[in-house]
Structure 1
Amino acid sequence: MATSNQIQPRKVLGKIKPYTPGKPIWELQEELKLDKVVKLASNENPLGPSPRGVQAIADSLDGLNRYPDADTSALKKSIASSMGVTKEQVIVTNGADELITLVSEAFLEEGDEIIVPFPSFSEYDFGAQLMGAEVVPVQLEEDFQFDVDKMISAITDKTKLIYICSPNNPTGTYLPKSDLEKLLQAMPEHVLMVYDAAYSHYATAEDYTDGVEYVKAGYPIIALQTFSKIYGLAGVRVGFGVAPDYVIQTILKVKEPFNVNALAQAAAAAAISDEKHIEASREMNIKGADQLYHLFSELGLSYIQTQANFVLVDLGPDAKKVNDELLTKGVIVRYGNTWGMPEHVRVSIGTQEENQFFAEALRSILNK
């Protein structure tokens, strides 16, 4: 049978760059024959998954012959109780990434615009481009702080969505509560804010907000969260959004049934109340951040104090070379070229031992 190359994909796919995940540990071990590899590239919880979540998975294994609850009822109830909202204000998805795509499918049409601070999480662009909408980037300030006035100035009649990632990936900076209020109050009625608070549990700033209070106050905002970070459930993929009822009902029209598997639902419902694991993860993150701050200060490297579980560090013109040499020593970090920052790397905060392993590798490369 003859093959054909005449089948044409949608034109918008020409603008889309597939997401590039961090290199997995096993791949680097096989590639370079390394005995030990430390992965500090994907902002995972180094403490591990919530023990309650793991137990819930074990307890649910006998039911794998059944389809999962398409409405995620038990998990919605747990989330609503934790957040102080109603079940009707919650949507659960296969990771927060799926929710970002669903928001795009539900609200964007060709020719619409979204406003995205830059640099930030690339999946916001992906969802918009998939629908043929235009991405309007708003550059962060030199110290990677948000410029709310520039975002307000970027709003047009075509603007449909404004994305805010706070704490922001990859910079670790955040949007103060007063600035969020200013932006919400300036938004026209036809604009929805997507407020990505994936790293909210790590934020320590007194004027930080996860955005849920503004959902309760009736603003047109959907607050995103994930079980992949502090809860340590990245491997089962669960995310959720909290928004006004009418926003949730619109998104549900494009959601696939059974999108969140049964084990993931059980694990997330148990993990959300695992306060012991949450507090231990926060404490480890604070100590780990201090460990990296001392390292970078000792080496004379500029870095951004973080509100998340990673630190952005400036390695200068040799950043790519340093990144590659770290790989040969068994350390995986995230090179900043993805975000248009070729002199930076993003280092996930690991355990004390992992951070020390990274420190020794970095010192040896820089000869310091």
Structure 2
Amino acid sequence: MSEQRSVPVREHLLNLEPCRHGGLIQETSEKYGIPESEILDFSANFNPLGSPFEYPGSGLDFDEIIKNSLGKILEYPDNRYLEFREAAAKFVGLGVSPENIIPGNGSTEIIRLLVECVIEKGDKVLIPWPTFGEYEMQCRIMGAEIEYPSQEEIETLPDEVLEKAKILFICNPNNPTGKLRTRNQLKALAERCKAHKTLLYVDEAFIDLSDPAQSVADLTASNDYVFVMRSLTKAFAIPGVRMGFGIASPGMAGILNTARLSWNLGTIANAIGTALLNMEGGACSQYLEESRVAIREEGRLLKAKLDRVRGFEVGEVNVNYIFVDISGFMLDSGELSKRLAARGILVRDCANFQCLGKDFIRVAVRPAEENEKLIAAIGEVITEWGREQAKQELQHVIEKAAEEGIGGRKTCEYYPCHFEGQNCTFCFCPFYPCEDERTGGKWIKSSRGGKVWSCVDCHLVHKTEIAQQILDCLMHEGDTEELVKVAWKKVMEPIL
């Protein structure tokens, strides 16, 4: 600690927790021995159609764009980025002009720029929870004091709270919950913020994958206290090329363009971004229209399947990701995420979002066949967990029987048992899944798709005399799994 405190930086930076971004696919591949090409990343919420360069109707040729820009890499870019700003204004529409546009190296740089230019140490900012963590990180770097109203409190924030705040951050649609505020709601909020001289920062990084009609980008023309951010990363599925832009009043945009880092867009990023924004149709291009339709249709199907998982409470589908409350599920977000990762499926563990704890995950909406793999993997995790629990329970039963002998478990949550005369020695069948229909068990259709083995019609191991014989076999010295096989052969096979 003493060595750290000798570092010549502002003291409040010493206790900042670093944010982890990127590298998860490579890390998962190395940890579990899964080829990177086989890993499905549901933690990253990009356009499920892929980039426009992979879309046949976009008219964009990636190789040609790169080839044309290579000839300019020996020159400094024009730091005004006139073509990019013109393309961005045309893409947004709504009367936005190039004078309103502030180019940025992705959304994080834009947040940093705005916060650097507005916040002084000790200023209060409002960051509704839960939401994108970079607002907090960039404000903490500048020494701001942060308050965390809930998302539900935003429309009814007291005047005195707004009066004291320098910035109010709104993500629309919100990340990670997917909540979409209407244009009218944000217009009313913008008027209140203007009256209290509180800057309303509206993050529209996902608006083009949701409902562009709810954008408030045009409010910046007449309101110095509205700032809107757009990102190309999400809508165009190009996270490796950092591009985005801010939209502000001409006066505000002029100051921010002066203050931003020179040449914050490299030549290649500038060329790619300009080409994407100039795509025919802009925000209403065939590519983005089809993207929104796919997200709505596949999102609803995915939500319906996730809703069938016991313990999942699934949020609304307004954008290309779904927020899931798993507080009623058997595993917390960390354990579920880890077990899915071992199967090559990455989901967003929301534990590091403000105030959420380990009760939430976020999953991206991807193409249908990939969504099916997510559902199947969740089913495998549930089965795996059930078997682990059964094994632990069996060991407990054996130990208790050795001390007390066989008997119905009055401490069992299902006591008295499911049917008359049932013995509750085995809450979990030691033979599950036996897959032998002579027991009365059978394959049934799973709510998550595919089939699952059901023991509903098998009562054999709940009969006292059979339970006793099984226990007699299991209580011998030796490996439990081998003893289970012996018990099946000696006890169950003769009965069947």
> So what's the TM-score if we normalise by structure 1?
0.91
Shift of 1:151: 6.2
Q: Is the 8 A contact 1:196 1:223 kept in 2?
A: yes
The aligned residue for residue 269 of structure 1 is 274
- What is the percent sequence identity of the aligned residues? 24
CA contact 1:114–1:134 (8 Å) conserved in 2: yes
Provide closer, same or farther for how the CA distance between residues 67 and 225 of structure 1 changes in structure 2, counting only shifts above 3 A: same
The residue aligned with 2:474 is none
Deviations 1:34-83 (A, max 9, x none): 14210111212232222227242343223222222211111101112222
2:81 to 65, 69, 72: 72
| Deviation of 1:176 (Å) | 2.2
1:229-266 deviation per Cα after TM superposition (whole angstroms, max 9, x unaligned):
11222211101011101111222232110001111111
Q: Alpha-carbon deviations, 1:260-319, whole Å to 9, x = none?
A: 111111111111243232223223322321231121122242111132211011222623
Q: Does 1:337 align with 2:351?
A: yes
Moved more, 194-203 or 300-309: 300-309
Matched residue, 2:124? 113
TM-superposed deviation, 1:15: 4.5
How many residues end up aligned between the 2 structures?
359
Kept in 1, the 8 Å contact 2:324–2:360? The answer is: yes
Match of 1:182 in 2: 188
Aligned to 1:295: 305
What does 1:81-160 correspond to in 2, within 5 Å?
81-82=90-91, 83=93, 84-141=95-152, 147-150=154-157, 152-157=159-164, 159-160=165-166
Residue 18 of structure 2 aligns to a residue whose secondary structure is: coil
TM-score by length of 2: 0.68
Indicate the residue corresponding to 2:6 in structure 1.
Answer: 6
| Higher Rg | 2
Is the Cα contact below 8 Å between 1:136 and 1:154 reproduced in 2? no
From 246, 250, 253, give the equivalent of 2:251.
Answer: 246
236, 241, 249: which is aligned to 1:236? 241
What CA distance in whole angstroms lies between the structure 2 residues aligned with 1:202 and 1:294?
Answer: 20
Tell me if structure 2 keeps the 8 A contact 1:116–1:135. Answer: yes
Instruction: For residue 117 of structure 1, give the secondary structure of its aligned residue in structure 2.
Output: coil
Matched with 1:322 is: 336
Q: Which range moved further: 75-84 or 10-19?
A: 10-19
Shift of 1:17: 2.1
> Could you say which residue in structure 2 is the equivalent of 1:359?
375
Q: Which amino acid aligns with 1:345?
A: I
Which ranges in structure 1 are unaligned for 5 or more consecutive residues?
Answer: none
Q: Which amino acid aligns with 2:240?
A: G
RMSD (Å), alpha carbons:
2.1
Counterpart residue identity of residue 299, structure 2:
A
**1:351/1:69 CA distance change after superposition, 3 Å:** farther
Task: Give the Cα–Cα distance (whole angstroms) in 2 for the partners of residues 328 and 8 of structure 1.
Answer: 42
- The 1:333/1:58 distance shift into structure 2, 3 A limit, reads farther
Amino acid at match of 1:241: G
For the pair 1:286 / 2:317, whether they are aligned, the reply is no
Query: CA 1:172–1:92 in structure 2 vs 1: closer, same or farther (change >3 Å)?
Result: same
Separation of aligned partners in 1, 2:364 and 2:23: 13
Displacement after TM superposition at 1:189 (Å): 4.9
Q: Give, in whole Å, the separation in 2 of the partners of 1:59 and 1:290.
A: 42
SS of 1:299's equivalent in the other structure is coil
Match of 1:39 in 2: 41
Give the whole-Å Cα distance in 1 for the aligned partners of 2:263 and 2:252: 20
Q: Which runs of 5+ in 2 are unaligned?
A: 54-59, 280-284, 384-445, 447-496
Q: Which has the higher contact order (CA 8 A, sep 6+)?
A: 1
CA distance in 1, matches of 2:160, 2:185: 14
d(CA) in 1 for partners of 2:257, 2:240:
24
